[in-house]
């Protein structure tokens, strides 16, 4: 494993108790960061904390609730300060939490399910970013990495809500990156990654046919590993990434055509 220097950095990872979020947490802690895991699953948070040990903090948060997000942001700042009185900052935000929704044709998609996917995969990252960014501006430093998807670039059949929400997240990344570019001496960056499918708990929300379809589209003929995504995210979350913002970083095993 290459060393990424995140020593002394404080990171919030939404959906941090499992999958890509947990892999990022492991990578960040091994690189010297203190990590706050936000998740809605209390038992998963407890298990993640036990696995990660020192360097991991946890908070039970419903990121679809604006008030809860604001409260959790302030609580995270206090928790970071309790670890180190000189570290009342949020240096890194990873917007990772999300769902896939049902695998059905767009014209058969239940509107309530469509709204839920958009709420968690697009609106929630906006709400979380809206809560965290002012603190980054005040501190004069920040790295935001949004976990989008190759589905947001290409559109997956039978996944209209997920594809649309992830496309929106890419657009949000570009807008926020441009808005922040001239602030704090260019020290607050916002980028996203667009991975192909990874074998995580999110597969439980998909049909076997849809999983097979996604694999068939990957020239490398395998799913991406969460550690591979975490490695890319770790660089984007570091100070070594200094002149890339509003960017879309592909990790799709050759699937992406742009």
Separation CA 166–CA 195 (nearest Å): 11
Q: From the candidates 109, 141, 162, 258, which is the catalytic residue?
A: 162
Vertex 11 angle, CA 42 and 206, to 5°: 50
CB 254 within 8 A of CB 223: no
Please count the other Cβ atoms lying within 10 Å of the Cβ belonging to residue 118.
17
State yes or no: is 258 an active-site residue.
no
Sign of CA dihedral 111, 112, 117, 123: positive
CB 52 within 8 A of CB 25: yes
> pLDDT: is 205 or 115 the higher one?
115
> pLDDT: is 83 or 174 the higher one?
174
Above 70 in pLDDT, residue 85?
no
| Ordered structural domains, the chain, with CATH | 10-246 (3.40.50.720)
Mean per-residue pLDDT of the chain: 95
Separation CA 188–CA 199 (nearest Å): 31
pLDDT tens digits for range 94-139: 999 999 999 999 999 999 999 999 999 999 999 999 999 999 999 9
Residue-level pLDDT at 220: 93
């Amino acid at each position: 494993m290459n060393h990424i220097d995140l020593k002394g950095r404080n990171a919030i990872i939404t959906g941090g108790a499992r999958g890509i979020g947990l892999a990022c947490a492991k990578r960040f802690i091994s690189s010297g960061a203190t990590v706050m895991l936000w998740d809605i699953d209390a038992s998963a948070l407890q298990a993640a904390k036990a696995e990660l040990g020192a360097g991991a903090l946890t908070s039970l948060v419903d990121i679809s609730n604006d008030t809860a997000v604001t409260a959790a942001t302030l609580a995270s700042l206090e928790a970071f300060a309790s670890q180190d009185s000189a570290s009342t900052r949020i240096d890194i935000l990873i917007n990772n939490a999300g769902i896939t929704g049902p695998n059905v044709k767009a014209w058969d998609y239940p509107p309530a399910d469509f709204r839920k996917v958009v709420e968690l995969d697009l609106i929630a990252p906006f709400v979380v970013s809206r809560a965290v960014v002012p603190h980054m501006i005040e501190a004069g430093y920040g790295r935001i990495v949004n976990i989008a998807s190759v589905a947001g670039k290409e559109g997956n059949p039978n996944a209209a809500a997920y594809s649309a929400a992830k496309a929106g997240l890419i657009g949000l990344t570009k807008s926020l990156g441009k808005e922040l570019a001239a602030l704090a001496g260019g020290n607050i960056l916002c980028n996203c990654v667009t991975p192909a499918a990874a074998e995580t708990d999110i597969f439980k929300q998909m049909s076997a046919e849809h999983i097979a379809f996604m694999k068939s589209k990957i020239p490398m003929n395998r799913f991406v590993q969460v550690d591979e995504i975490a490695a890319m995210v770790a660089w984007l979350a570091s100070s070594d990434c200094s002149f890339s913002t509003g960017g879309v970083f592909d990790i799709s095993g050759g699937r992406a055509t742009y």
